[in-house]
Amino acid sequence: MKQTTAFKNFTERIQEIFNFAVLITISVPVLKNNIRLIKNGTIDRLPDPDYFEPSVVYEITDKTIQELSTNGLDVTNIERLKELLNKPLNNTDFKAKVIGIIGEENYKTHRITLKKQSTGYIDNIQNCTSNYQSKLATYLYFSTFSYFEAFIGDLANEVIGSLVTNDNSLYQQSYIINEANLADYNKIDKPFDGRKIDRYKKHSSKLFEQGYKIPDIVLFSSTIELLKSKIENMKANEIPEVLDKIFLFKMTEDEKNTYHSIRDNRNSIGHGNMGYSPNLTDVITANKFFKDLSYRIDKHINFYFFKPRNLTT
């Protein structure tokens, strides 16, 4: 059985955030090790961040001065650089002040030696790694529920988009009651008379040519418009009922309880309430729940609400 686009997108999004989680749980231990190497003098610096480089704080230290002397920077410039000794500066100020002292060419030549992160910056980065697994779990937990919520909305819209409906607004404007169509309507809106079959066919055909739509189509189209509005404004707590009443998918009581428990936890996180703090095991459990549930929902929706590709009637 085919899968909906909504389900494919949902599984891709979930995979992306867990790939990112793997990246973080690999990167942070490497970062911690590098910080340890910096503090024992084995390496001089951390790699600058790809995007947030302006947040990096640099500092001229005694070691910087020694290395610049060894690398051939003239004494005059070295003495002037001592004005910045042990003064942490952000990336922009550091670059501007150093260039102002030694010139742009010297800055380019000795850039690697000059741009040593300050001790305070290293300490701040180290502090950021504290309890990172809990923070990561919180973001993953929140995202997992939000992606499932989006999946249900996308799935409903995918079903709606596959249906043939009438533009009722245009229909009401273009098909207006007049003497001609009312006459045809009245001629066939009488108790049935088997002798008048041909007359019924004639005037029915004329009504349809004038633009008449059978009430089933008009009412169905109005209902779909109401459903669109419902989906656009659907709240997370309404999802089990929408699945049940509209799409005939019934969650078990245990599933409803689990769903609402995760929803409450997500809301707690979203509102900044510190009363709930998930761990990575909680994330994996929630993800398994939504993975299994979404698969069953998608299979159900496909079977009952999408025609087989080659269905003939």
The two tokens of residue 62 are: 């005694």
**pLDDT one-digit tens code per residue, 41-61:** 899 889 888 888 788 999 999
The two tokens of residue 54 are: 């302006």
Rounded to an integer, the average pLDDT of 186-202 is: 91
DSSP assignments along 48-105, one per residue? PPSS-GGG-EE-B-HHHHHHHHHTT--HHHHHHHGGGBT--EEHHHHHHHHHHHH-HH
Among 120-124, 172-176, 301-305, the minimum mean pLDDT is found in 172-176
Higher pLDDT, 273 or 277: 277
- What pLDDT, on the 0 to 100 scale, is given for residue 229? 93
- What pLDDT, on the 0 to 100 scale, is given for residue 272? 80
Q: Which residue has the tokens 């779909």?
A: 224
The two tokens of residue 122 are: 């290293």
Every domain of the chain and the residues it spans: 5-128, 132-171+215-305, 176-212
